[in-house]
Amino acid sequence: MKRWRGLKDLVQDAVDHGATAIEKVHRTSAATPFQLLEQVPGLERPARVAHGLHDLALSGSYGMVRLVTRQVGKAIDQVLDVMEAPSACEP
C-alpha cells in the first residue's frame, strides 16, 4: 500500500510540475508575437487585450489540469485509506 501511495504521489507531482513547466514554455513562446504586435502603431491596445486574454485562458487551462490532478489524487488517497483500514466485519 505504501508503494501504491508513493506511485500516486509521484504521478501527481509529475503531472503538476510537468503542466507548470509546459505552461511556462507556452507563455514565453506566445509572448513574442504579441510583443511584436504591441509595437505596431494602432494595434497596441487590441494586441495588449488579446495578450491578456490569451494568458488568462492559458492559466485557466493549465490550472484546470492541476486542479483535476489534485482532486483525482485526493480521491485515490481516500480509496487507499479505505483499503488500508481494518475491515469493520473482521472479528
Residues that bind another protein (CB under 8 A): 2-7, 9-10, 13, 21-22, 24-25, 28-29
Q: Are 63 and 15 in contact (CB under 8 A)?
A: no
Cβ 67 to another protein shortest distance, Å = 20
Given the complex with another protein, which of 28 and 87 has the nearer CB atom?
Answer: 28
Cβ 26 to another protein shortest distance, Å = 8
Given the complex with another protein, which of 21 and 75 has the nearer CB atom?
Answer: 21
- The residue among 61, 60, 83, 64 whose CA lies nearest residue 72 is 64
Q: How many CA atoms lie within 13 A of 83 on its CB side?
A: 10
Cβ 10 to another protein shortest distance, Å = 6
- CA–CA distance, 28 with 63 (Å, rounded to integer): 17
Given the complex with another protein, which of 40 and 78 has the nearer CB atom?
Answer: 78
Q: Are 72 and 8 in contact (CB under 8 A)?
A: no
